[in-house]
Structure 1
Amino acid sequence: MKFSSTALTSILLASSSRSVNAFFPRARSFTGLSSRTSIGYVITKSDINWRGSRNMSSLAASEVSSTQTGLPRVSLLQFHVTEDKSINLKTARRNIEEAAKGKGVRNPELLVLPEVWNSPYATEAFPEYAEVLPSVEEGGDMRGSESAEMLSGAAKEFGVFIVGGSVPERDGDDIYNTCMVFDPRGVLVAKHRKVHLFDIDVPGGITFKESDTLTAGGGLLTTFDTGEGLFGTVGVGICYDIRFPELALLLTKEKDVSMICFPGAFNMTTGPAHWELLQRARAVDSQAFVLTASPARATEEMLKATKKDGKFPPYTAWGHSTAVNPWGEIIGSCDEGEAIVEVEIDVSKSMQMKTNIPTALQKRTDLYSVEYKG
């Protein structure tokens, strides 16, 4: 989704999410659209429209709700990924700077990047692009990883939490799909290695096998604390992890998360069918906000160039980075192109759900259980 820097400075449009409009009218919200650069900038109204309790009937009302409630804010960064790592690093850094400026009465406190943003999404590429990443336990020495160094520096410079999407990580003979999280001091506070590898074979659709080169992570429950004034405890998963409800359920049960971030890169087969469905399902399962950030979909020109001169097979991402509230409503989304989705988060809604529909207290543990063995 692209807009010129001179257009759409204050235009009210209906949400671009077809499924929200068609299937979830209660969640339909108005979106104020602005732009600073060639990046599409999507500012959603806040979660003030909880369960459709407030109708936004005018431009002025929508602008107030999208920029002036003062709730903590999150930005989802959706940008193109190339075979040139140096370009990818610059693109990510530019998007972080753009997103950190914000468009509301307060700047975003947390940014989420896409899955595998510094490398082509190809099993053959992962070993070549893999970096030795710092560990949380060792204090996070960034010097061995240019991706970690960039993310850490940006988090410190702009004073934000960064859920750093994911990058291929080399650890001895193993390669992981890893998400690093940095706090506003630039300190590495969490690291999640993708637990469930993307190994699928859909006839007539897509065949992909991450396990050809990647190793599955061993730590399931990755969280970090943002403090009570922001988002509380936040959980992290990566892409295919979202298909496993046990992860979301255990993050709620064991860590009492109010929000889960899933950097992801669904494709043109699984994306249209399951991307939104799974996010809404996990939000309802966990009674927490669910946030996803995807790479932007490659343009036709980019795909042609990759097929002609590229070293690795092209992977076409679905895009549509999205934020979902604990009621299962979409509160922010975009289309397939480059975009920054900025959304306000009221974490009290997570506690409200857990109180009003107390499924965590109603489990039939005499009949079944979901237990963490880590």
Structure 2
Amino acid sequence: MNATYHKRAVRALYAVTVFPWSGVAAADLQSSSRAAITSTSFKLRCPTSFIAPLSVWRSSPLLPRGTLDSRTRRMSSTAMNNSQEPQLTTSQVKNRVALLQFHVTYDKLQNIATARESILKARDSGARLCVLPECWNSPYATAAFPDYAEKLPDVGDEDGAFASFDNGEYGPSSRMLAEMAKSTSMYIVGGSIPEISAGKIYNTCLIVNPSGVIVGKHRKVHLFDVDVPGGIRFCESETLSAGEGATCFDVDEEDTEKGLGRVGVGICFPEYAILLTQVHQCKVLIFPGAFNLTTGPAHWELLQRARAVDGQCFVLTASPARAAPPEEEQKYPHYSAWGHSTAVSPWGEVMASCDENPNIVVVDLDMKKVAEMRMAIPTSNQKRHDLYKLTTGGGGA
């Protein structure tokens, strides 16, 4: 490696690779860290001047052997107990995350099978945390939500003993998420699925840790009610009820400098991001979303970059892939998702993205960049609390 190439590689901030669903072998995904990322099996989403061996791109080596004692909380009306987690597997990279974008069909069991396959591909990529899309087990249609809704578990105990998973009290979607998180030793931010609870339907995201324990449960706070003339009309409140709390969880609490730290979770609308970053001190914000062909090209990337700069944090989004309208009339109206699952840096730069087709976006997060950004542009220290302040009520959102 010549000096110029080495210097460029050392200066590079992030390793960014998009793994298309087709034609990616497990052997390619599990290749040595010394293998160059210029393999034809990979689709790169970074400037050619930043191409370097993956070992150079990684912000830190694998964790030393040992048990992670990472506490996780749900920052809302319910707190969870501490939990002991399994150690990082040898194939995982500490701050590697995978954003899963796949087609959602009218067949729930097929959707669950597709999600399972995507999670396995995320594991093979070396990801430690993966994110599913919004409404991944159900068509995105207000009439479909009650038909596809499931009873979901709440934040679990530290032993991860969910006997009710075995006797069928909860639906197949949450059972799959818990089983896959434990079998792959990954954190899974479970996109969202329709939840039935006390006669109400919610758009709910489950967060599962590597022990298979539910460590967060976020019900969508801002329902998607829009009527754009000449564009789209969609009213989630026709069948859904709004959630009442902000949700976040901790990863690598013992490694405050390089670890992922506190991760905030929302669904679709990023409007309460300021609460997650200023009150709950999140370094990473995750928003499963299903923007459409009207709001997607106008606002999808714009909002993510704005929230990343506002909060001086990483912003990650996962969308369903865009499907062609069915040839035959279906029970529910067709919804065209925008796709373009994306990762944005604290500087507001798009680190990685994809198109509308099924993809897995894999990115390594250099968490030191959060501290560097907040020190270089100290907006949090420049707030005029004598003139204004952030107030919260209810569950914190």
Could you say whether these structures have the same fold, taking a TM-score greater than 0.5 normalized by the shorter chain as the test?
yes
Q: How far apart, CA to CA, are the structure 2 residues paired with 1:289 and 1:164?
A: 18
Say whether residues 1:130 and 2:155 are aligned partners: no
Q: How far apart, CA to CA, are the structure 2 residues paired with 1:252 and 1:33?
A: 37
Out of 107, 120, 126, the residue aligned to residue 84 of structure 1 is: 107
Cα distance, 1:230 vs structure 2: 3.1
Alignment of 1:262-273 (within 5 A): 262-273=287-298
Out of 159, 183, 191, the residue aligned to residue 165 of structure 1 is: 191
Question: Do 2:156 and 2:214's aligned partners in 1 also have CA atoms closer than 8 Å?
Answer: no
Residue in 2 aligned with 1:343? 363
Q: How far apart, CA to CA, are the structure 1 residues paired with 2:154 and 2:316?
A: 24
Residue in 1 aligned with 2:281? 256
Say whether residues 1:317 and 2:337 are aligned partners: yes
Q: How far apart, CA to CA, are the structure 2 residues paired with 1:178 and 1:170?
A: 10
Q: How far apart, CA to CA, are the structure 2 residues paired with 1:33 and 1:209?
A: 45
Cα distance, 1:69 vs structure 2: 6.2
Alignment of 1:43-58 (within 5 A): 57=49
The residue type paired with residue 345 of structure 1 is: L
Residue in 2 aligned with 1:93? 116
TM-score by length of 2: 0.77
Q: How far apart, CA to CA, are the structure 2 residues paired with 1:216 and 1:2?
A: 34
Residue in 2 aligned with 1:283? 308
Taking structure 1 as reference, are residues 364 and 293 closer, same or farther at Cα in structure 2, changes over 3 Å only?
A: same
Residue in 2 aligned with 1:75? 98
- 1:257-279 Cα offsets, whole Å, 9 max, x none, are 11000000000000000000000
Residue in 2 aligned with 1:297? 322
Question: Do 1:32 and 1:63's aligned partners in 2 also have CA atoms closer than 8 Å?
Answer: no
Cα distance, 1:339 vs structure 2: 0.2
The residue type paired with residue 370 of structure 2 is: S
Q: How far apart, CA to CA, are the structure 2 residues paired with 1:33 and 1:270?
A: 35
Residue in 2 aligned with 1:19? none
Q: Which runs of 4+ in 1 moved over 4 A?
A: 30-35, 41-45, 62-71, 137-141
Q: How far apart, CA to CA, are the structure 1 residues paired with 2:199 and 2:339?
A: 32
Out of 335, 359, 362, the residue aligned to residue 379 of structure 2 is: 359
Residue in 2 aligned with 1:151? 177
Aligned residues: CA RMSD? 2.4
Say whether residues 1:216 and 2:242 are aligned partners: yes
Question: Do 1:42 and 1:342's aligned partners in 2 also have CA atoms closer than 8 Å?
Answer: no
Cα distance, 1:4 vs structure 2: 3.7
TM-score by length of 1: 0.81
Aligned-partner SS, 2:110: helix
Give unmatched runs, 5+ long, in structure 1. 11-29, 36-40, 46-54
Q: Which piece of structure 1 moves more, 320-329 or 66-75?
A: 66-75
Cα distance, 1:350 vs structure 2: 1.1
Q: How far apart, CA to CA, are the structure 1 residues paired with 2:283 and 2:384?
A: 23
Number of equivalences: 324
- 1:88-143 Cα offsets, whole Å, 9 max, x none, are 000000000011111xxxx1110000000000000000000000000115665434
Q: How far apart, CA to CA, are the structure 2 residues paired with 1:304 and 1:218?
A: 36
The residue type paired with residue 199 of structure 2 is: D
Aligned-partner SS, 1:179: strand
Residue in 2 aligned with 1:116? 135
* Matched-pair identity in %: 52
Q: How far apart, CA to CA, are the structure 1 residues paired with 2:59 and 2:312?
A: 26
